[in-house]
């Protein structure tokens, strides 16, 4: 079995001798690449590997520098660049050799020009604008092809291919490290990686030889009614331009600003309404200003008692459904505001006792007090620090009870 130190394996793959000329190597590759191309051998699973191996061999032996290193040191001397995973892919090599396009009407595609990166902006929108819909005008700074030189960077005919790198923009350097020869790439110092050279006097006065200029453009972003967070408004081809590249897209991602009164969940709205105790017990009217400035007048029917934290629903008063004609619901959670301490007089208390349901029992056992040890105590107000500490202790106790309960169940299950 051939090893990477073998100096004849690649010639064997191409079915030529180590003394073959460049023309013979090229002819052999043409023949074998056509023979083993995957589009021509759809039912032969080995064809793809043979096709890659032939392309790998030709990539090395068609390059005079690589061939010289291979003849002297084998594939190991290429320091990994000649490996099957490096360099140009077999299909790209085939496309370049035969002038691009699929030879057999198959799936091989031309790479074509690259596309510039997309420009992504977060567009923060108020809940009112999403409820009603809006068109936002947003200014954008982007690069466009210089209109004076049509993206050449200078006068017509003044732009020359860099002779130092032959237009590649980089140079391949070699250095010997013991028995190994290392090959590496570096930016061409003659053209600063551009692949072209323009004399200073011939550079375009508008773009300074950069081929592009900055333009300010105003885009009209349509925020549709009911659009959801994370929705994208895409302007295709409005990204940065450049010679030989396809402009990318400009993408606006919708993000809803927090609202001081409403919260949104899907197509529903949630609202906290504070009502007084009299309204909660005896009915009344409250008003809510909606997102389109309408006022909703809500009647609480006398005799319908509203409890603290209770939630009611108004059908069809939520958010508009995105690109549909229906609406979600509006959910109202009621906070009941109680009167301040000592607002009542003894007479009013008697009146309340006559109106309201009777008090619950105190919880003491139904035995004479003289037969029990009972101590009367007084409630006191607590400051915020004491309240926070008491609330935290109660939460910790609940968590401990919850944990202990799980522990007991686990213990019982293991018996």
Percent of the chain at pLDDT exceeding 70 = 81
Q: Does position 102 have pLDDT exceeding 50, yes or no?
A: no
| pLDDT for 132 | 93
Tokens 């686990």 locate to: 410
Is the entire prediction scored with pTM above 0.75?
no
Average pLDDT over residues 65-93: 64
Out of 26-30, 172-176, 201-205, least confident range: 172-176
Task: Identify the residue with better confidence: 44 or 265.
Answer: 265
What does DSSP assign to residue 4? T
Average pLDDT over residues 359-383: 76
Tokens describing residue 68: 């010289």
Average pLDDT over residues 176-180: 68
CA of residue 173 relative to chain centroid, distance: 39
| pLDDT for 103 | 47
Would you say 192 and 168 are in contact if contact means Cβ atoms under 8 Å apart?
no
Q: Does position 411 have pLDDT exceeding 70, yes or no?
A: no
User: How large is the angle between the packed helices 90-98 and 47-61, nearest 10 degrees?
Assistant: 70
What b/e string do you get for 68-102 counting C-beta neighbours within 10 Å, with b at 16 or more? ebbeebbbbbbbebbeeeebeebbbbbbeeeeeeb
Q: Does position 410 have pLDDT exceeding 50, yes or no?
A: no
| pLDDT for 354 | 87
Q: Does position 363 have pLDDT exceeding 80, yes or no?
A: no
What confidence tier does 95 reach under pLDDT thresholds 50, 70, 90?
low
Q: Element (H or E) spanning 25, and its range? A: helix 22-36
Beta bridge partners of 281: none
Would you say 49 and 99 are in contact if contact means Cβ atoms under 8 Å apart?
no
Distance CA 238, CA 249 (A): 5
Average pLDDT over residues 262-289: 94
| pLDDT for 108 | 43
Beta bridge partners of 145: 212
Q: Does position 168 have pLDDT exceeding 70, yes or no?
A: yes
What b/e string do you get for 156-184 counting C-beta neighbours within 10 Å, with b at 16 or more? eebbeebebbeeebebeeeeeeeeebebe
Average pLDDT over residues 113-130: 89
What is the rounded end-to-end Cα distance, in angstroms, of the chain?
63
| pLDDT for 309 | 94
What does DSSP assign to residue 115? B
What confidence tier does 82 reach under pLDDT thresholds 50, 70, 90?
very low
Task: Identify the residue with better confidence: 217 or 384.
Answer: 217
How does pLDDT run across 288-318, given as a tens digit for each residue?
A: 999 999 999 999 998 889 999 999 999 999 9
Q: Does position 73 have pLDDT exceeding 50, yes or no?
A: yes
Q: Element (H or E) spanning 138, and its range? A: strand 134-145
Burial of 370 (0-12, 13-18, 19+ CB in 10 A): exposed
Task: Identify the residue with better confidence: 244 or 129.
Answer: 129
Compute the radius of gyration of the chain from its Cα atoms.
40
Strands 180-187 and 170-177 come out as: antiparallel
Task: Identify the residue with better confidence: 330 or 375.
Answer: 330
Q: Does position 136 have pLDDT exceeding 90, yes or no?
A: yes
Out of 83-97, 183-197, 248-262, least confident range: 83-97
Tokens describing residue 164: 């130092």
CA of residue 344 relative to chain centroid, distance: 60
Grouping H, G, I as helix, E, B as strand and the rest as coil, residue 341 is: coil
| pLDDT for 83 | 44
Beta bridge partners of 134: 223
Distance CA 226, CA 319 (A): 6
Burial of 294 (0-12, 13-18, 19+ CB in 10 A): exposed
Distance CA 163, CA 197 (A): 9
Percent of the chain at pLDDT exceeding 90 = 35
Q: Element (H or E) spanning 12, and its range? A: helix 9-13
Distance CA 175, CA 183 (A): 7
Would you say 87 and 59 are in contact if contact means Cβ atoms under 8 Å apart?
yes
Highest mean pLDDT among 61-70, 156-165, 273-282, 350-359: 273-282
Q: Does position 104 have pLDDT exceeding 70, yes or no?
A: no
Out of 53-62, 192-201, 271-280, 288-297, least confident range: 192-201
Question: What's the mean pLDDT when you consider all of the chain?
Answer: 81
What confidence tier does 84 reach under pLDDT thresholds 50, 70, 90?
very low
Residues 6+ apart with CB under 8 A from 162: 169, 188, 190, 191, 194, 195, 196, 197
What confidence tier does 391 reach under pLDDT thresholds 50, 70, 90?
confident
Average pLDDT over residues 345-354: 86
For the sheet with 262-265, list strands across it.
262-265, 268-276, 330-337, 311-314
């Amino acid at each position: 079995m051939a090893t990477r130190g073998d100096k004849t394996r690649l010639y064997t793959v191409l079915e030529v001798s180590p003394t073959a000329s460049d023309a013979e190597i090229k002819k052999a590759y043409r023949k074998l690449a056509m023979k083993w191309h995957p589009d021509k051998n759809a039912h032969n699973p080995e064809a793809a590997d043979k096709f890659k191996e032939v392309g790998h061999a030709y990539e090395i032996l068609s390059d005079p520098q690589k061939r010289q290193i291979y003849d002297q040191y084998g594939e190991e001397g290429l320091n990994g660049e000649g490996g099957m995973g490096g360099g140009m892919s077999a299909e790209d090599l085939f496309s370049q050799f035969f002038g691009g396009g699929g030879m057999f009407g198959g799936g091989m595609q031309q790479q074509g020009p690259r596309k510039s990166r997309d420009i992504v902006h977060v567009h923060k929108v108020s809940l009112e604008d999403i409820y009603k819909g809006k068109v936002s005008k947003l200014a954008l700074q982007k690069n466009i092809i210089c209109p004076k030189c049509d993206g050449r960077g200078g006068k017509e005919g003044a732009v020359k291919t860099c002779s130092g790198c032959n237009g590649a923009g980089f140079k391949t350097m070699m250095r010997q490290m013991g028995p190994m020869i290392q090959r590496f790439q570096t930016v061409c110092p003659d053209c600063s990686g551009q692949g072209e050279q323009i004399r200073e006097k011939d550079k375009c006065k508008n773009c300074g030889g950069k081929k592009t200029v900055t333009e300010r453009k105003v885009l009209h972003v349509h925020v549709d009614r009911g659009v959801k967070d994370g929705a994208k408004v895409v302007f295709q081809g409005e990204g940065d331009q450049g010679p030989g590249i396809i402009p990318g897209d400009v993408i606006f991602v919708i993000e809803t600003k927090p609202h001081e009164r409403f919260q949104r969940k899907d197509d529903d709205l949630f609202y906290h309404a504070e009502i007084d105790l009299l309204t909660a017990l005896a009915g009344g009217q409250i008003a809510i200003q909606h997102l389109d400035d309408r006022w909703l007048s809500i009647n609480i029917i006398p005799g319908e008692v509203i409890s603290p934290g209770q939630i009611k629903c108004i059908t069809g008063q939520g958010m508009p459904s995105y690109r549909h004609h229906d609406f979600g619901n509006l959910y109202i959670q009621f906070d009941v505001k109680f009167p301040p301490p000592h607002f009542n007089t003894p007479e009013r208390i008697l009146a309340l006792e006559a109106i309201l349901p009777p008090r619950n029992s105190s919880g003491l056992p139904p035995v004479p007090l003289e037969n029990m040890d009972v101590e009367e105590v007084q409630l006191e107000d607590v400051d915020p620090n004491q309240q926070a500490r008491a609330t935290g202790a109660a939460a910790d106790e609940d968590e401990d009870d919850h944990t202990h309960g799980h522990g007991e169940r686990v213990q019982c299950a293991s018996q």
